[in-house]
Amino acid sequence: MEQIKVDLQERSYPIYLGENIIPKLARDLATKYEGRQIIIVSNDEIFTYYGKELLDELTSCDIITEIIPTGEEYKTFHMAEQILSKMIRARFNRDALLIALGGGVVGDLAGFVASIYQRGIDFIQIPTTLLATVDSSVGGKVAVNHTLGKNLIGSFYQPKEVWIDVKVLHTLPEREWKAGLAEVIKYGVIWDKELYEFLEENSTDLTKDNLNLAQKIISRSCRIKAEVVSKDEREENLRAILNFGHTFGHALESATGYNYYRHGEAVAIGMVMAGKLALEIGMWNINEYQKLKNLLVKVGLPIDFPSEISREQIYTNLFLDKKIKDKKLIFILPQSLGQVEIVKNVNIEIVKELIQKFRA
């Protein structure tokens, strides 16, 4: 079992990564939390597969479960309130533990609940999608969506541990696996050219059944994110680079009601749009832009969106982005593979025209 440290001084925590690690970690947890209250938040399909492993090892604890519907459209304050109500009725106190067992929606929602229940209780992330393992489970960003925008209501709140058991990838739908690859590719573009080239060389082998390869790309992705978060926990500067592809991607998700694209699919399109913007303003070269598009297509990700999606709505939604400062949009744009820049003074007319005329 591999261990990766997210170094945040008194809030530091381990990421455990390996195959078939849930039972052992759950046994250790049962000893630590013996007799204490635990709520497991999950969705039906995931809990059916993996919930029993947890429950069998946590018999010494006082367990309740909350099974939520699947889908980004359920990452809402209303759903958070439903979980909070269950905890209040069960008289949970501040030494309780919340376990998030699921993908990014479950982790974001459950982590947000943990951050606000009685001003904060312990929580553990057990991500079950590739996207959640490499991105949302690490770094302490927890949030719910608002009807007007994605992740607008949230906190920075770190988990106590992250458990990544690669065997859960076996049951992942193909579309979810591919969506997760977008975030892995993102790390190659923003930080690690060697990772990017590795992904290019192994693009045909990047399948959910190749667990050795999956563990390698998850490990490298988590190490990159842990390094960035350790340097800038609250996204005051450096951490913003993790949002490459997300400015356009979030606007696209919101414009399509959160149920048309998977998050990773929207990020893939957002990376292409950001790449094209970098091209337009002379920051990036056409060869690397084409390489990015080709890799995304090779792994089965979209690089364009249908004409019926409102380009005006995408443009409007950009102005709900959380990186806005002094009423100005901030973009993460590539300079070369492995290096991006935080750009604060892009001519908004160029952005508007890019969206209106966008074709990958």
193 carries an active-site annotation: no
Interior CA angle at 160 toward 23 and 69, to 5°? 70
CB 311 within 8 A of CB 356: yes
146 is in an annotated binding site: no
Catalytic residue selected from 75, 223, 250, 276 = 250
In 3D, which of 175, 101, 183 has the Cα closest to residue 134?
Answer: 183
340 is in an annotated binding site: no
263 carries an active-site annotation: yes
78 carries an active-site annotation: no
246 is in an annotated binding site: yes
129 is in an annotated binding site: yes
Catalytic residue selected from 263, 276, 293, 322 = 263
183 is in an annotated binding site: yes
Distance CA 360, CA 353 (A): 14
Catalytic residue selected from 72, 235, 253, 288 = 235
Catalytic residue selected from 178, 186, 239, 262 = 239
141 carries an active-site annotation: yes
Q: What is the DSSP string of 138-181?
A: SS-EEEEEETTEEEEEEEE---SEEEEEGGGGGGS-HHHHHHHH
146 carries an active-site annotation: no
243 carries an active-site annotation: yes
111 is in an annotated binding site: no
At 339 the three-state DSSP class reads strand
Exposure class string for 157-169: b at 16+ Cβ within 10 A, else e = bbbbbbbbbbebb
81 carries an active-site annotation: no
| Contacts of 353 by beta carbon, 8 Å cutoff, 6+ apart | none
Catalytic residue selected from 246, 262, 276, 293 = 246
184 is in an annotated binding site: no
Catalytic residue selected from 119, 325, 327, 357 = 119
Catalytic residue selected from 66, 176, 183, 253 = 183
- Cα–Cα distances (Å) from 322 to 96, 149, 208, 236, 330, in that order, read 31, 10, 33, 12, 9
170 carries an active-site annotation: no
141 is in an annotated binding site: yes
Residue positions in the annotated binding site for NAD(+)? 104-108, 128-129, 141, 150
Binding residues: 104-108, 128-129, 141, 150, 183, 246, 263
Q: Which positions are annotated as active-site residues?
A: 119, 141, 183, 225, 235, 239, 243, 246, 250, 263
Name the binding residues for Zn(2+). Answer: 183, 246, 263
